[in-house]
Chains A and B, each alone.
Chain A
Amino acid sequence: AIQMTQSPSSLSASVGDRVTITCRASQGIRNDLGWYQQKPGIAPKLLIYAASTLQSGVPSRFSGSGSGTDFTLTISSLQPEDFATYYCLQDYNYPFTFGPGTKVEIK
């Protein structure tokens, strides 16, 4: 199975900060990668798919980039509602695999 790693595992940031989360695949996955946001007690929310396609209804401050093995999620200006845990998911082939998550906390 393809292994996914994320960095950092957690970060502290302030409202208005630019935040970058990286995800790395153990082998090339083209652009078959999505980013999800999860808050406690709420189902995960799709932010980005196909590495850089913004899901409908998701604010434009979220963006994704990368292909092959290295990917990035960027939040251009962190908002109070963005404090959450973020996961990448490779959907290149079965079994799909999530990264371990990055918890974004208030500084």
Chain B
Amino acid sequence: EVQLVESGGGLVQPGMSLRLSCAASGFTFDDYAMHWVRLAPGKGLEWVSGISWNSGSAGYADSVKGRFTMSRDNAKKSVHLQMSSLRAEDTALYYCAKSVLPAAPRAFDIWGQGTMVTVSS
């Protein structure tokens, strides 16, 4: 079964850091770009970050650029999102998602269940 499982969410104070992880199974992980998407309470979906199959390129939303870093470990079939200088507006459910086509970064066909990040003092 193709599956993505996120972990690492929690309650954190403003200005602090947090690292999210996503474990993949059931597909050839190193063929596909991966992404993080978030859903803040009462808001719409926001693409956060994406990384190519070989870590050769990565992109970030303007709202997180310079504060978040996405990485992947193909040997361990996992991706990570290192979040620093967290703000209240980063509070959201964070989803890990897989691109639908090999070697192309677009369209997300498989999603995890999400991990909740709450930034509050």
Where the two chains meet, the residues of A that have a C-beta atom closer than 8 Å to any C-beta of B are: 1, 32, 34, 36, 38, 43-46, 49-50, 55, 85, 87, 89, 91, 94-101
A-B contact count (CB 8 A): 66
**A98–B45 alpha-carbon span in the complex (Å):** 7
Residues of B within 8 A of A55 (CB): 100, 107, 109
**A97–B45 alpha-carbon span in the complex (Å):** 9
What is the total number of residues of chain B having a CB less than 8 Å from a CB of chain A? Answer: 24
Residues of A within 8 A of B39 (CB): 38
B-side interface mostly:
strand
Q: When the two chains form the complex, which single residue of A95, A99, A101 contacts B59, counting CB atoms closer than 8 Å?
A: A95
Q: When the two chains form the complex, which single residue of A49, A50, A91, A101 contacts B45, counting CB atoms closer than 8 Å?
A: A101
Are B106 and A97 within 8 A (Cβ)?
A: no
Q: Is B119 an interface residue (CB 8 A)?
A: no
Q: Is B27 an interface residue (CB 8 A)?
A: no
Most buried by B among A95, A100, A101: A95
Interface 0/1 of B78-121, CB less than 8 Å to A: 00000000000000000100001000011111011110000000
